[in-house]
Amino acid sequence: MSRIYFDNAATTSLDPEVLTVMMPFLTEKFGNPSSVYSYGRETKLAIENARKSVAKILNANPGEIFFTSGGTESTNTAVNAAIRDLGCKHIITSSIEHHATLHTVEYLAHSGQAKLSYVNLTPNGHVDMNNLEELLAGSPDRTVVTLMHANNEIGNLLDIKAVGELCRKYDAIFHSDTVQTVGHYPFDLKNTYIHFLNGAGHKFHGPKGVGILYVNENIQIKPYINGGSQERNMRAGTENLYGIVGFAKALEMATATYEKDSAHINGLKTYMGTRLQELFPGVLFNGDTNGRSLYTVLNVSFPRTEKSDLLLFSLDMAGICVSGGSACTSGASSVSHVIKALHNGKSDSLVPIRFSFCKHNTKEEVDAVIEKLKELI
């Protein structure tokens, strides 16, 4: 059975060109980058070239880029450093962040290390900027604001520059989970007020298990993982050499084809949204679908019925890969925390499905999924 893969917000396929550049470092170029002989020097050079490439694309300095195991480690490092090293006693976040953020800030609050505030959301799931300023202005302590650039479930985009300027005004530390946007949008970090930012290679056709943490050069933090002197004494452990090389190559490729790919993917999202509205009465779109929204994500709620209750299972049986929310919580039986927050606890009557697209998807695949939905509902 041929499969249709519409869950690219969870992970993307590894691009063959990325695998090609990784292969030498999986075979003959296997040296430990910390070694001083030729095998080590050539792999160390590959890592530093990858760092320079990533920094250039994000308009950052190479010294501000640290390679990690992915978005979760990067978020944990950033938020913990803000409390431990940068004097923050207050955290502002939202109720619809990724669990990498929510579970971290909840732990810090429950252990008495920081006060925790949740910014209000607008009815369509955006951060209420007026309330964010009220929280910042009313805080007697230095604050860290941690808000994701694009929500991984509903796709809403944060105005990252506007939040940065509010943080500048109130001398707050700003971290943004940009896992869904690095590799999908251009960044200009030298002209953005932000202290921490993270990315993950597998969200834009790179390898899994590798990510980045951007740390603004104007702040000083301590390591989150202690041990060796790798990553300029900031992240101990032998480097994921082939992952780092693959990350940089995937980011280079995504940047080179951004205009074409984003237009194609957005076209698929718009087309599918239009067809769903035409064919399925009562369908709802979660988030700001036609406004400030990630072009890769379309989150749809179908009215809950006996048939739609089994929709995810039925689509899977038909070879169609979609999700009900974040892949990190896909084992949960209830509606995700994001959808619950969006519908103020009235989500039990809905069956949310996240369709997320990539450059390899086609209009024909959308048509095939629509036909299957017509059959199932």
In 3-state terms, what secondary structure has residue 174? strand
* pLDDT value of position 1: 66
Residue 366: C-alpha distances to residues 5, 44, 314 (Å): 10, 44, 16
With a CB cutoff of 8 Å and minimum separation 6, the contacts of 161 are 192, 193
- 109 closest CA partner among 93, 120, 126: 93
Instruction: Supply the CATH classification number for the domain 16-256.
Output: 3.40.640.10
Give phi and psi for 159, each to the nearest 5. Answer: -80, 90
Class of domain 4-12+258-376: alpha beta
* pLDDT value of position 309: 82
Q: What share of the chain is helix, strand, coil (3-state, %, to 5)?
A: 45, 15, 40
* pLDDT value of position 326: 58
With a CB cutoff of 8 Å and minimum separation 6, the contacts of 189 are 58, 59, 60, 64, 197, 214, 216
Sign of CA dihedral 201, 359, 302, 311: negative
The per-residue pLDDT string of the chain (377 residues; one tens digit each, 9 = 90 and over) reads 689 999 999 999 999 999 999 999 999 999 999 999 999 999 999 999 999 999 999 999 999 999 999 999 999 999 999 999 999 999 999 999 999 999 999 999 999 999 999 999 999 999 999 999 999 999 999 999 999 999 999 999 999 999 999 999 999 999 999 999 999 999 999 999 999 999 999 999 999 999 999 999 999 999 999 999 999 999 999 999 999 999 999 999 999 999 999 999 999 999 999 999 999 988 999 999 999 999 999 999 998 888 788 899 999 999 999 998 655 544 445 688 999 888 886 767 789 999 999 999 999 999 999 999 999 98
N residues, the chain: 377
Alpha-carbon gap, residue 21 to 320, rounded angstroms:
31
Q: At residue 342, what is the residue type?
A: L
Alpha-carbon gap, residue 241 to 229, rounded angstroms:
15
In 3-state terms, what secondary structure has residue 22? helix
Q: Active-site residue numbers?
A: 328
Q: At residue 171, what is the residue type?
A: D
- Fold matches, 4-12+258-376 and 16-256: no
**Strand residues in 20-77 grouped as ranges (E):** 65-68
* pLDDT value of position 332: 47
- 171 closest CA partner among 211, 218, 131: 218
Q: Where are the domains of the chain?
A: 4-12+258-376, 16-256
With a CB cutoff of 8 Å and minimum separation 6, the contacts of 95 are 102, 118, 121, 337, 341
